[in-house]
Structure 1
Amino acid sequence: MAALGDLTAERLTPGNLGAQRERDAASRPRPTVAELRADGRFAVEELSVPGGEGRPDVTLVHARPADATGPLPALYYMHGGGMIMGNAWSVLPKILRDWSGPLGLAVVSVEYRLAPETPYPGPLEDCHAGLVWTAEHADELGIDGERVIIGGKSAGGGLAAALTLLNRDLNRERGEGPVPVGQLLQCPMLDDRLDTPSAHRMAGIGLWDRSSTAVAWQAYLGERYGTADLSPYAAPARATDLSGLPPTYIDVGSAETFRDENVAYAHAIWQAGGDAELHVWPGAFHGFDSVAPAAALTRAARHARTQWLSRTVERSRR
């Protein structure tokens, strides 16, 4: 695997966001629906669903093994990119190859609006509207609405954690919304305060550091950034009650900014009586599995995620 000290990247600033988006789009080209179908192995459709009162429609990309029958468990997924970059399509090739095909899993990937053009709570509202619509239309999608896992990576992992908290609270207060059977959080971006030892220690190191993360949080939160009373739906590390969450998978590298906030989130779930599986991959940096897809550590991480998904899907059958 590439050495962390050998990896350099231009730090994100408000002034270079446009250029960074162009580079990101070039490095992660958006596949077409025909490409995602992979010579007929997968059924793929783009859906436009209501975004809620006064908000635009939300685009969902629904994919599943083409030969699968019966209602399938589903992974409702949010892409990474600091909530300022990325798209719902580019994450799908790996998800379909690693999880959908082997596990017989449907995937719904969310094209949420990006900051700073759409700050909080807009992206989370998009994710929530898509989740509610997916659950309400599960039968016509061929999805088992009682076997949905919420997941995401990096900023998408933070959105997944926020969505799970919001969905839990709506269930508690109003009896509304689906009840997910798990949440899969890959190196999630959880804490806008960026005041952990790992955040400080990794400043200026690696592909995505404390300064770039701060710019992303500022774009997402605007004037709310760093305020004492920030909602946990905006930054899940602010949550004081992590009870009642579904079984959770969290993984993170030992050499990345998000390490300590991820470990703390797992500990808080345990302390609230919940079920969390935590992996801290030794020497791994943010995005290591994309930079070094054939590395032994990447294979181990991919296997651990797949095994957790498989166990969660099997447990949900009971």
Structure 2
Amino acid sequence: MGVAGMPREHGPVPTARHAPPPFDPELGAALVATGERAKEPVTPDGLAARQERDAAARPRPTVRKLRDGGRFEVEELRAPGPRDGREVTLVSARPAGVTGPLPLLYYMHGGGMIMGNAWSVLPRLSELPFAYIDVGSAETFRDEAVACADAIWQAGGEAELHVWPGAFHGSDTLAPRASLSQEARDARTRWLRRTIGR
């Protein structure tokens, strides 16, 4: 899982000079409640079981549910994927009956960009739309997320970055009612409203 105090394969290794940041008290308690499961490393052999647990804990919404009784037109699109020929499924949703161009919200779990080497995938960072990046101070990929925002700024692009003190990877899913999780969700919602209102 790669949270502070547990085995990690990426990011800086804690030393006397680089100690891991402390967890937020509410989020730390939620992590302790998961027991040994939180310490399980993500490996190719254990990935299928991890994906099954994740799908059971956070079921993906169906296209029917996303349509919300006809409020949205939803379709699954296929885009070329990695060089091995696999396609990537994208879900397109827009208000029903609306024509013409609309603002676009593109969501992707950040780990995919880190593991896929974002710098080669996105060579023209200045051409990205407005980006929102949030990460916990105890997150495995904290430094990479901050570097991604910095690279966007250096290229002349626009990014909003939040580093949540004491949060770790997936903490807002593990403890959705924690104050910090709610604050992070509220910040994302405010950013989305500001961005769509431009």
TM range (shorter): 0.5 to 0.7
Is the 2:67–2:74 Cα contact (8 Å) retained in structure 1? Answer: no
Q: Which residue of 2 aligns with 1:32?
A: 62
Sort the Cα spacing of 1:313 and 1:13 in 2 relative to 1 into closer, same or farther, 3 A. same
Q: Which residue of 1 aligns with 2:98?
A: 70
Is the 2:79–2:87 Cα contact (8 Å) retained in structure 1? Answer: yes
Q: Which residue of 2 aligns with 1:19?
A: 49
Return the alpha-carbon distance in structure 1 between the equivalents of residues 123 and 92 of structure 2.
Answer: 34
Q: 1:267 aligns with which of 150, 155, 164?
A: 150
What TM-score results when the alignment is normalised by the length of structure 2? 0.66
Code of the residue aligned with 2:137 in structure 1: it is: S
Sort the Cα spacing of 1:243 and 1:287 in 2 relative to 1 into closer, same or farther, 3 A. same
Code of the residue aligned with 1:252 in structure 2: it is: V
Does 1:309 pair with 2:192?
yes
Sort the Cα spacing of 1:57 and 1:16 in 2 relative to 1 into closer, same or farther, 3 A. closer
Is the 1:237–1:261 Cα contact (8 Å) retained in structure 2? Answer: no
Q: Which residue of 1 aligns with 2:72?
A: 43
Q: Which residue of 2 aligns with 1:2?
A: 27
Code of the residue aligned with 1:16 in structure 2: it is: G
Structure 2 residue runs without a partner (length 5+): 1-25
Is the 1:45–1:61 Cα contact (8 Å) retained in structure 2? Answer: yes
Q: Secondary structure at the match of 1:250?
A: strand
Cα displacement string for residues 238-297 of structure 1 (whole angstroms, at most 9, x for unaligned residues): 677633333221110001111111111212222223222110001001111111112221
Is the 1:256–1:285 Cα contact (8 Å) retained in structure 2? Answer: yes
Q: Which residue of 2 aligns with 1:95?
A: none
State how 1:164-183 maps to structure 2 within 5 Å: none
State how 1:127-276 maps to structure 2 within 5 Å: 144=101, 147-156=103-112, 158=113, 190=114, 217=115, 234-237=116-119, 242-276=125-159
Identity over aligned residues, as a percent?
Answer: 51
User: Which structure's relative contact order is higher, taking Cα pairs within 8 Å and 6+ residues apart?
Assistant: 2
Return the alpha-carbon distance in structure 1 between the equivalents of residues 119 and 172 of structure 2.
Answer: 24
Aligned length: 165
Runs ≥4 residues deviating over 6 A: none
Code of the residue aligned with 1:27 in structure 2: it is: A
Please report how far the alpha carbon of residue 152 of structure 1 lies from its aligned counterpart in structure 2 after TM superposition: 1.8
Sort the Cα spacing of 1:37 and 1:11 in 2 relative to 1 into closer, same or farther, 3 A. same
Sort the Cα spacing of 1:271 and 1:301 in 2 relative to 1 into closer, same or farther, 3 A. same
Point out the more displaced range, 3-12 or 298-307: 3-12
Please report how far the alpha carbon of residue 19 of structure 1 lies from its aligned counterpart in structure 2 after TM superposition: 2.2
Return the alpha-carbon distance in structure 2 between the equivalents of residues 65 and 244 of structure 1.
Answer: 26
Structure 1 residue runs without a partner (length 5+): 72-138, 159-189, 191-216, 218-233
Cα displacement string for residues 193-233 of structure 1 (whole angstroms, at most 9, x for unaligned residues): xxxxxxxxxxxxxxxxxxxxxxxx4xxxxxxxxxxxxxxxx
Cα displacement string for residues 62-113 of structure 1 (whole angstroms, at most 9, x for unaligned residues): 43456xx534xxxxxxxxxxxxxxxxxxxxxxxxxxxxxxxxxxxxxxxxxx
Sort the Cα spacing of 1:64 and 1:18 in 2 relative to 1 into closer, same or farther, 3 A. same
Return the alpha-carbon distance in structure 1 between the equivalents of residues 89 and 155 of structure 2.
Answer: 35
Q: Secondary structure at the match of 2:127?
A: coil
Cα displacement string for residues 164-215 of structure 1 (whole angstroms, at most 9, x for unaligned residues): xxxxxxxxxxxxxxxxxxxxxxxxxx2xxxxxxxxxxxxxxxxxxxxxxxxx
Q: Which residue of 2 aligns with 1:284?
A: 167
